[in-house]
Amino acid sequence: MPGSVSATTPATTPPERSDAPEAASQGGWLGRIFGRGGEAAPIETPVPPPVEVPAAASFTTVERTDDYEIVAPPAQAPAEKQSWLRRLRSGLSKTSAGIAGIFVGVKVDEALFEDLEAALLMADAGMDATQYLIDALRDRVRYERLTDGAQVKAALRDLLVELLQPLERSLVLGRATPLVMMIAGVNGAGKTTSIGKLARHLQNYGQSVLLAAGDTFRAAAREQLAIWGERNSVTVVEQEGGDPAAVIFDAVNAARARKIDVMMADTAGRLPTQLHLMEELRKIKRVIAKADAAAPHEVLLVIDANNGQNALAQVKAFDDALGLTGLIVTKLDGSAKGGILAAIARQRPIPVYFIGVGEKVEDLQPFSALEFANALLGDD
């Protein structure tokens, strides 16, 4: 992701309009790139009174080019890190108990592989990922001549980390001003809540944020986003009953005029089977590109880990429609089994920027393949 950064000139074509109403419905590291974009004529939007936002931490440079600089934040405080890992392990405890128990006092034979296969399928890993892990584990056991259950478990952890590693990518900030993020998801996935939490995270990294309420026909969605805006002292661009694409178009221009770092656009929750609503999402993406030819810079999908293989189907459908750049996986603290990330890694390896294990702001953290694999297998 960090690497090629190209300057773009925002287009001025007005947005498409539609009369058809839309249906109601710091653990890892973040990169930061410094830069500024052009200006556009400001539009009036309500701005809440300024409040203190946590200052950006003292960063350490890890890479520099002629055009930009990438820096990494300091490590999370040990107490905060341990608290997060405890919550993650607790959220995945049902799955980890089932898998870890297989390796206790076990003989390394065919029965072990059969039990492990069943446990992975029960954990929502899916047939493809399960077969891949079992076949790779058989090869490693045979090649390394592993005879102890603990050795086989350690080998499985290494294979799982290797499988999940491509999903561990950093969200690169500052490569455009504003950095436009389009957020999609089905109803109930935790989309609007995730936007509010992510806004606070970005503020902690010294980023100014503006939100666009693209779910214009559902009052509860606008109200929920407005509440998060008040909590974080972030402006929310909204319009009751307005065209979602037009609202988001205005928000992009407002963010550019105010030199806002990040503009996040909420969209109405929808099922991928609702073809007319999926087409509305495509329209929103096209209109965003009319406000800024390089935008949206990020297209994120929020998925509920409790949905198992249905979550994988959502990833495929939204990716086909929009070209996803990242995922936010929520509700790993519920009945979620966690194996769905292995299924995604095998069939649609889209970066998982954040995972969530609760309702608090600090319960949304960057995804780490090693931390997740350890929690899934019940390792410290």
8 is in an annotated binding site: no
Q: Which secondary-structure segment (H or E) carries 93? A: helix 93-100
270 labeled part of a ligand binding site: yes
Annotated binding residue at 267? Answer: yes
Structure tokens at 133: 């892990």
Amino acid code (one letter) for 334: G
Residue 332 among known ligand-binding residues: yes
Closest CA to 367 of 357, 379, 352: 352
Ramachandran class of 333: left when φ > 0, alpha when ψ lies in -120 to 50, beta otherwise: alpha
Q: Can you tell me the distance from the alpha carbon of 250 to that of 242, in angstroms, rounded to the nearest whole number?
A: 12
186 is in an annotated binding site: yes
| Nearest Cα residue to 175 out of 352, 354, 37 | 37
Residues in Cβ contact with 307 at an 8 Å cutoff, skipping those fewer than 6 apart: 189, 314, 340
Query: Any binding-site annotation on 331?
Result: yes
Q: How far apart are the first and last CA of the chain?
A: 30
Find all residues with CB under 8 Å of 260, minimum gap 6, and list them. Answer: 177, 178, 208, 209, 210, 254
307 marked as binding residue: no
**Residue 111 annotated as lining a ligand binding site:** no
Q: Per the annotation, does 333 bind a ligand?
A: yes
150 is in an annotated binding site: no
Ligand-binding annotation for 192, yes or no, is: yes
Q: How large is the greatest C-alpha to C-alpha distance in the chain, in angstroms?
A: 71
Looking at the chain, which runs of residues are DSSP E strands? 31-32, 60-64, 69-72, 172-173, 179-185, 209-213, 235-237, 262-266, 298-304, 326-330, 352-356, 364-366
191 is in an annotated binding site: yes
Q: Is 268 annotated as a binding residue?
A: yes
- Of 279, 332, 275, 273, nearest to 302 by C-alpha is 332
Token output for 188: 């109930």
Annotated binding site: 185-192, 266-270, 330-333
- Residue positions forming the annotated binding site for GTP: 185-192, 266-270, 330-333
